[in-house]
Amino acid sequence: MDAIASPSVPDVKGASGAGVRIRVRGLAKRYGALEVFRSIDLDVGDCEILSIVGPSGCGKTTLLRCIDGLIPVDEGEIWVNGTRVTQPIAGMAMVFQHFGLFPWKTVYGNVAYGLKMAGASKAEIAERVPHFIAMVGLKGFENAYPYQISGGMQQRCGLARALAVEPSVLLMDEPFAAVDAQTREILQFELLRIWEQRPTTMLFVTHSIEEAVLMGDRVIVLKGRPSSIAETIVVDLPRPRTRETLREPRFAALREHVWSTLLSEARRAEFEVGGGL
Amino acid sequence: MASLDASLAKPIAKEAPRRRALGVSGVFLPRLLAGLAIVLVWEASVRAFLPAYVAKPSTVLLAIPKTVVDAAFLAATADTLGAVAQGLGIAVVIGTLVGLVIGRSPTADRMLRHYVNGFYAVPMIVILPLLSLWFGYTSATRLATIVYAAIFSIVVNVSDGARAVPREYMEVARSFRAQRLRGLFEIVLPAATPYFLAGIRLAAGRALIGAVVAEFFTAIGGLGYFILFMSRTFRHDEAFVGVALLAAFGVGVDVFVAWCTRRFLPWYRRDERSA
């Protein structure tokens, strides 16, 4: 790579104007003999949404967990907001695939959790929590327990919990994979609406091509075993993106493009059972 | 304003009515019938085969009014239950801490697991002579027996519960940068509460047995000694009032724990969707 690969001095505020929020260089992760991914390089700009797609088991969730600092990497470096990530850092929040709500806490308690851990005062919590509960459309459900609300509402709660700490980087781990199809669509546009209201840098991991294109400013496709970045596709669709976006020819073309990249990979993988060379 | 899920329209179900759907007759009647059957068989077999001084339900029932106002009986009851409460309290605090550490630290687990299981399996009755050597024929021996009897069921249950905490909860805690100790008390402890309550249920029963056994051995007074003394002086009816009280305590703990579960853990067993 070029000069920016220099590990000691991360060039956080890029000369291009927009700051680089996430910088990943030469990342590799192994579980014993199994190499999950290798030589991953990423730059995600301020308020950019980067979608990551790939076939099941390609390590996209693992990559996200590495970036959050939840699991150690074997090679390479991750910088977020100019800080080298070796464990979870402030300014970053994750939305979990299975929501990760605590069943013994109410919606209010769950949304307040991140703030509490960040050391916010009682007054601050009392002021901010209702705001974010309203933002995700859960007003009136503050005292409901997770078992009392639908999956879609549970993920709204998970989103509010992440937003409440006002992160500059939001990590989304297949956030809508565990809800039904209609709810998923509703939540996608909800998230876009919230993003317009309050833009943040976002890494959006999904296995849905449509979702990746709808959300992302760029889409990266992971492929191979171990996987690496096969292609980066710039999504030049205007924002705000709405249901209309889905009907645009450009959207269909981009979706087809990502799909063919993935398909060639999926085909190859299918005939490579047992791990060919 | 946000557009809402279709499912949002559905009100939150209040679950209480379904739980009571069986109603008083559905729950209470079988219970009452079973109790009556036990009492009748007891009464009939004593009348048919045994001498008159042997306790039977009718005479025990008649003995209740004068026993429950007997100062000696009341003092003995207060003595025993006080000791049980004290010992249980000590066992709960220490047992919970040890259980959390064993459940979350593989090192502590490797170090302590076999010892805990070993002591859990040793009957308290064989420990008692040792304890009475150390503490003498005093109430300290009884307290030590109660703690010994109760603590291991709590350690075993809490450590099982702490081990069973879903990994995702711990990841959420770490992702939001919870300190390790806060994670232990704010995530692991609540997640393990159902196990903790099951442990208390077992521990309360064992604590009571421990107290009575210690009183049998050391003659330091209390309800166990009262029962022993009454039966040795052929006042079986009075002795059985004491026994009935012990049984009632067992039922009481069960009812109390069940009530606590409903009151403080409304989410328990209803969280399949969110887990």
**pLDDT digit of tens for each residue in chain B (275 aa)?**
444 444 444 444 444 444 555 666 777 888 899 999 999 999 999 999 988 878 889 989 999 998 888 999 999 999 999 999 999 999 999 999 999 999 999 999 999 999 999 999 988 888 888 998 999 888 899 999 999 999 999 999 999 999 999 999 999 999 999 988 888 889 999 999 989 999 999 999 999 999 999 998 888 889 999 999 998 998 888 999 999 999 999 899 889 988 888 888 888 865 443 43
Residues A104, A215: Cα–Cα separation, whole Å: 32
Domain assignment present for residue B225? The answer is: yes
Same-domain check for residues B155 and B265: yes
Tokens for B5, please give them: 């899920």
Contacts of A89 in chain B (CB under 8 A): 177
Same-domain check for residues B183 and B95: yes
Q: How far is CA A222 from CA A35, A54, A79, A142, B71, in A?
A: 14, 5, 20, 39, 81
Residue in chain B lying closest to A112 (CA)? B176
Handedness of CA A211, A218, A203, A51 (dihedral sign): positive
Mean pLDDT of chain A: 88
Residues A251, A93: Cα–Cα separation, whole Å: 29
Residue in chain A lying closest to B166 (CA)? A100
Give the residue ranges of DSSP H helices in A136-248.
Answer: 151-164, 181-197, 209-215
- In the A/B pair of chains, how many CB contacts fall below 8 A? 101
Q: What pLDDT, on the 0 to 100 scale, is given for residue A275? A: 46
Q: Which of A230, A213, A234 is nearest to A265 (CA)?
A: A230
Domain assignment present for residue B157? The answer is: yes
Task: Write out the E strands in chain B.
Answer: none
**Residue tagged 């003659």 (tokens):** B219
For residues A19-38, average pLDDT? 91
- Give the mutation candidate from B165, B167, B176 for the A interface (greatest A CB count, under 10 A): B176
Domain assignment present for residue B82? The answer is: yes
- How far is CA A101 from its chain centroid? 18
Residues A234, A134: Cα–Cα separation, whole Å: 33
Q: Is B262 part of the contact surface with chain A (CB cutoff 8 Å)? A: no
pLDDT tens-digit series, residues A120-167: 999 999 999 999 999 999 999 999 999 999 999 999 999 999 999 999
Q: Which residues pair with A95 in a beta bridge?
A: A172
CATH of the domain at B141: 1.10.3720.10
Alpha-carbon distance B151 to nearest alpha carbon in chain A (angstroms):
26
Alpha-carbon distance A33 to nearest alpha carbon in chain B (angstroms):
23
Same-domain check for residues B189 and B80: yes
Contact A96 B172 (CB under 8 A): yes
pLDDT tens-digit series, residues A73-132: 999 999 999 899 999 999 999 999 999 999 999 999 999 999 999 999 999 999 999 999
- Strand, coil or helix: B133: helix
**Residue tagged 């393990």 (tokens):** B192
Same-domain check for residues B32 and B72: no
Supply angle C-alpha A158, A193, A190, rounded to 5.
Answer: 45
Domain assignment present for residue B56? The answer is: no
Beta-carbon contacts of B223 under 8 Å, excluding residues fewer than 6 positions away, are B76, B77, B79, B80, B81, B211, B212, B215, B242, B245, B246
Contact A152 B7 (CB under 8 A): yes
- Strand, coil or helix: A158: helix
Domain count, chain B: 2
Q: Which of A157, A159, A204 is nearest to A61 (CA)?
A: A204
- Strand, coil or helix: A31: strand
**Residue tagged 């296995």 (tokens):** A207
Same-domain check for residues B105 and B3: no
Residue A273 confidence (pLDDT) above 60: no
Same-domain check for residues B83 and B42: no
Beta-carbon contacts of B268 under 8 Å, excluding residues fewer than 6 positions away, are A103, B193, B194, B261
- How far is CA B8 from its chain centroid? 41
Query: What letter does residue A139 receive in the DSSP assignment?
Result: T
Beta-carbon contacts of A155 under 8 Å, excluding residues fewer than 6 positions away, are A95, A99, A175, A176, A178, A179, A187
Same-domain check for residues B33 and B84: no
pLDDT tens-digit series, residues A251-270: 999 999 999 988 876 666 66
Same-domain check for residues B75 and B45: no
Same-domain check for residues B108 and B145: yes
Same-domain check for residues B95 and B216: yes
Q: How many CA atoms lie within 13 A of B121 on its CB side?
A: 6
Domain assignment present for residue B196? The answer is: yes
Contacts of A96 in chain B (CB under 8 A): 168, 171-172
Q: Which amino acid is present at A3? A: A
Beta-strand pair A228-234/A218-223: antiparallel
Same-domain check for residues B159 and B123: yes
Query: What letter does residue B125 receive in the DSSP assignment?
Result: H
Q: Is B185 part of the contact surface with chain A (CB cutoff 8 Å)? A: no
Task: Write out the E strands in A86-197.
Answer: 92-95, 169-173
Q: How many CA atoms lie within 13 A of A195 on its CB side?
A: 26
Q: What pLDDT, on the 0 to 100 scale, is given for residue A272? A: 58
Same-domain check for residues B117 and B169: yes
Element (H, E) at A204: strand A201-205
Domain assignment present for residue B257? The answer is: yes
Q: Is B265 part of the contact surface with chain A (CB cutoff 8 Å)? A: yes
Do the beta carbons of residue B153 and residue B198 sit within 8 Å? no
Contact A96 B7 (CB under 8 A): no
Contact A154 B176 (CB under 8 A): no
- Across the interface, of A70, A101, A141, the residue whose CB is closest to B175 is A70
Contact A93 B175 (CB under 8 A): yes
Domain range enclosing B82: 61-274
Domain assignment present for residue B6? The answer is: yes
Q: What is the ipTM of this complex?
A: 0.85
Domain assignment present for residue B55? The answer is: no
Contact A186 B5 (CB under 8 A): yes
